Structure 1
Amino acid sequence: MDHFLYRDGVLHAEDVALTEIAAQVGTPFYCYSTATLTRHFRLFDEALDGMDHLVCYAMKAASNQAILKTLADLGAGMDVVSGGEYARAVAAGVPGDRIVFSGVGKTHEEIRAALVGGIRQFNVESEPEMAVIDEVAQSLGVVAPITVRVNPDVDAKTHAKIATGKSENKFGIPISRAREVYAHAASLPGLKVIGIDVHIGSQLTELEPFRLAYQKVADLTETLRADGHDIRRLDLGGGLGIPYERSNSAPPLPIEYGALIKETLGHLGCEIEIEPGRLIAGNAGVLVSQVIYVKSGEGRDFLIVDAAMNDLIRPAMYEAHHDIVPVVEPTAGIEQARYDIVGPVCETGDTFARQRDLPPLEASDLIAFRSAGAYGAVMASEYNSRPLIPEVLVNGDQFAVIRRRPTFDEMINRDTIPPWL
């Protein structure tokens, strides 16, 4: 469920018409709904009711500080994967003891910054990383709390580019080597082993892969405890999918996911961390764009819009589907037209959809890309020297620009011409 609905013939974000935002901000722009962000966080939080737990939002999905503060004020922790994300979380007011640091390539500088600023735990991905965390922690005279990310070799049954739990993926320690790696971690004076981490992928649409992974984690927990390790926390990652195509069956609900966690891991008495990102932010955001031209081609019509692949790269990168709807509600029963929906970037890959049925549209009409709140603005670029587009947050009948569109001068003046030119 989201809070983007037609009202009086116009698509609204909560109580604000998207046409009103477009008139004031210009297009294209991202628009997020506070009510949807809040609802989706609470669904996860309530799903784990009765267990000691923390919902750590995976901020790589959408990392604007206004979104982070909205969730942090609800009690969310943050899952970060870079020094920049750590700094963003801190700037948004998230305390260090609610920040989990994941990622396969943590640098000395990133580790030091997190240890100085405060960190809940590092999710360690490799033995070389473990050695660096130990070295940095000892140099600061502190002990770093860690979990070790194990790779359970479970097929998440998702897109190959977002699967992370198979043996051929770059993530984690093979679960077959876990006892050896944990024994080594326990011998390092700068580290304190507190738990286990696992994450098998993103946009999962069934629960069985989670079940297989979590059963392996349950067995490993008991084995490591028998070896003398104080395993008190299980970080289960994220990955629960969202319904990008409204016509398709819905992925499992957070309440069903929570029931699975309780069934497979509840007997262990561990604190549970989960790291949802896409399901919290995905349907909480839309991308609004304006039609520039309607162009007739050989056997097809093109809807050329002012958003492009640099603004929303998921269709080009993942062949991802986004439902696309007119902002002004079409007349009931109107005959549909069929379009290829494309942007102005000079790439054939700058195509959002092919042969998509929509009501007839004309230049200056507005369209909305649904389910664009996750991995939209955060993956945007300035390709073709196109400025990053605004982000807008709606709260009831209010809205605010939470990232403005830079001017051409601001974008260009970041370049520096050397003195010999």
Structure 2
Amino acid sequence: MADENPAVRRLSDWEPEPLRDIADEYGTPLYVQDVGRVRENAVRLREAFPDADIAYAVKANTTHAVLSALERAGIAAECASAGEVQRSLDAGFPPERIRYTAVNPPDVDLDHVCALDGVDELTITVGARDTLDRVAERGFDGPLCVRVNPGVGAGHHAKVSTGAEPKFGVPYDRAADLCRKAADRGFDLVGVHAHAGSGISGEDLSAHRELVARMGELTREIADLDPEFVAVGGGFGVPYRESEEPLDLTRVAAATREAIGETDARLAIEPGRYFVADAGVLLTTVNTVKPTPETTVVGIDAGMTTLLRPAMYDAYHAVRSLEPDLPRKDPVSCELSGPVCETADVLGRDRTLPDPTRGDLLAIGNAGAYGYEMASTYNSRPRPAVVSLDGTLVSLSVERERLSNLTALERSAGDSDGSAVDGERDADGGTNQW
């Protein structure tokens, strides 16, 4: 099993010839997602946490192929928006295997979720007393979970460390009181939830352990309410640099079980990137090679609108050339620059590549999580296509946007079809996005 299901899939493990064939057929920039690898990662998580309730943090990658593969693998869905709930339902997740964990949800989101068929089986997680009141006003009486701010955070970047950020969850010292108020109001309190952050590694396992210990204490404090589960988030990291070791998932699982202590509530985890990051690559084509005194600027057709993580988080993604004549090329230090008019539009600095030539095909690794999900149309650039791999089967998951798509929703001042620019208004004056 170890050889068939390694702890991490490196960019060098991808066979170049099939990727070249895919790029020839579908063009670039192009995301390629291997759903077989997604299933392998699900198996590894299940083996490390055999008794846990495992949910996938849908925001990492919402493509239908990924969602349907994880649904068939028996994984639950943890959703941060009404849109993610709807995508999960469309992919086959039954309501009882969906947790809606929204942060400051807009009214239109709550309206949609609370009106769904089977909503009485879907778990809604609230992170504020206001949110509790708002779901009550909509007549929701299904399973309820309370999100807790444990006062401790972890993660690969300050922008994804959620555990100590006041935006997320009820302050720890008020959580038990809100749980009791919810139960007194007739809600079916099924659990409590906290999330330290994203990209947790062995280096910050102590913060994860502290969060889990606090959640264990809270669960024992409200044991009389008989919570079914205690969710300690996910955020398990993957090694983006080739020199980094993969996460010791067995060690993380053991530390989690030890830290939570004795409780009748079932442990729940909600990884996102761990399922999908190393299952995806981004293919891009060199269009400009510009030697400068500082470096060789390699212009590519993917940029920060295609893959935002380097500009947003200073994230590192491995890069390799997929050209077949590499042995004949000398190594060159490069800066990989995209086509967006921003200084931040650089996907990699000080990278060594075989002497690049216009038309070369490059692959960018660990692009399966928060890649296509964070793509945008800034600079009026259409978003890329997504292709799914399942063994030898290659299929188009998401079509490439075209320039005509960018203006499809726009209305000019002379239009008289009665619709507002930002969508039709409902009877209460709100925007109905559904």
Letter in 1 for 2:297: F
> Aligned match of 1:275 in 270, 278, 281?
270
Once the two structures are superposed, residues 249-298 of structure 1 have per-residue CA deviations (whole angstroms, 9 ceiling, x without a partner) of 33x33322222232233631322221111111111100000000110123
- Report if aligned partners of 1:31, 1:393 keep a CA contact under 8 Å in 2: yes
Letter in 2 for 1:144: G
Q: Percent identity?
A: 30
**172-181 or 360-369, which deviates more:** 172-181
Once the two structures are superposed, residues 6-49 of structure 1 have per-residue CA deviations (whole angstroms, 9 ceiling, x without a partner) of 68xx525xxxx111111110111000112210111111112121
Match of 2:256, SS state, is helix
Alignment of 1:7-406 (within 5 A): 11=16, 17-49=18-50, 51=51, 53-115=52-114, 116-117=116-117, 118=119, 119-137=121-139, 143-156=141-154, 158-166=156-164, 168-189=165-186, 191-206=187-202, 207-225=205-223, 228-250=224-246, 252-265=247-260, 267-328=262-323, 331=326, 335-406=330-401
Distance change in 2, residues 1:244/1:330 (3 Å): farther
Match of 2:276, SS state, is helix
Letter in 1 for 2:138: V
Match of 1:268, SS state, is coil
- Report if aligned partners of 1:164, 1:200 keep a CA contact under 8 Å in 2: yes
- Report if aligned partners of 1:30, 1:287 keep a CA contact under 8 Å in 2: yes
Match of 2:414, SS state, is coil
- Report if aligned partners of 2:76, 2:98 keep a CA contact under 8 Å in 1: yes
Distance change in 2, residues 1:103/1:420 (3 Å): closer
Match of 2:288, SS state, is strand
Alpha-carbon distance in 1 for matches of 2:144, 2:21: 48
Aligned-residue offset at 1:114:
2.8
Aligned-residue offset at 1:109:
3.8
- Report if aligned partners of 1:238, 1:275 keep a CA contact under 8 Å in 2: yes
Distance change in 2, residues 1:288/1:201 (3 Å): same
- Report if aligned partners of 2:299, 2:338 keep a CA contact under 8 Å in 1: yes
Aligned-residue offset at 1:3:
7.8
Point out where structure 2 has 5 or more consecutive residues left out of the alignment: 1-7, 417-434
Alpha-carbon distance in 1 for matches of 2:44, 2:135: 35
Distance change in 2, residues 1:157/1:345 (3 Å): closer
- Report if aligned partners of 2:210, 2:259 keep a CA contact under 8 Å in 1: no
Alpha-carbon distance in 1 for matches of 2:406, 2:162: 35
- Report if aligned partners of 2:31, 2:281 keep a CA contact under 8 Å in 1: yes
* Matching residue of 2:9: 2
Letter in 1 for 2:218: L
Once the two structures are superposed, residues 344-384 of structure 1 have per-residue CA deviations (whole angstroms, 9 ceiling, x without a partner) of 11111111111211121100001011001100101101112
Aligned-residue offset at 1:105:
1.7
Aligned-residue offset at 1:155:
3.4
Letter in 1 for 2:23: A
Once the two structures are superposed, residues 363-410 of structure 1 have per-residue CA deviations (whole angstroms, 9 ceiling, x without a partner) of 000101100110010110111221111000011111001001132223
**228-237 or 37-46, which deviates more:** 228-237
Point out where structure 1 has 5 or more consecutive residues left out of the alignment: none
Alpha-carbon distance in 1 for matches of 2:377, 2:123: 34
Aligned-residue offset at 1:78:
0.6
- Report if aligned partners of 1:56, 1:77 keep a CA contact under 8 Å in 2: yes
- Report if aligned partners of 1:62, 1:373 keep a CA contact under 8 Å in 2: yes
Match of 2:207, SS state, is helix
Aligned-residue offset at 1:112:
4.1
Q: Over aligned residue pairs, what C-alpha RMSD do you find? A: 2.0
Match of 1:307, SS state, is coil
Distance change in 2, residues 1:5/1:338 (3 Å): closer
Alpha-carbon distance in 2 for matches of 1:296, 1:99: 52
Alpha-carbon distance in 2 for matches of 1:258, 1:120: 27
Aligned-residue offset at 1:208:
1.4
Letter in 2 for 1:92: A
Distance change in 2, residues 1:177/1:246 (3 Å): same
Letter in 2 for 1:349: A
Letter in 2 for 1:328: E
Alpha-carbon distance in 1 for matches of 2:19, 2:415: 49
Match of 1:60, SS state, is helix
Letter in 1 for 2:215: V
Aligned-residue offset at 1:157:
5.1
Distance change in 2, residues 1:266/1:223 (3 Å): closer
Distance change in 2, residues 1:48/1:248 (3 Å): closer
Distance change in 2, residues 1:174/1:286 (3 Å): same
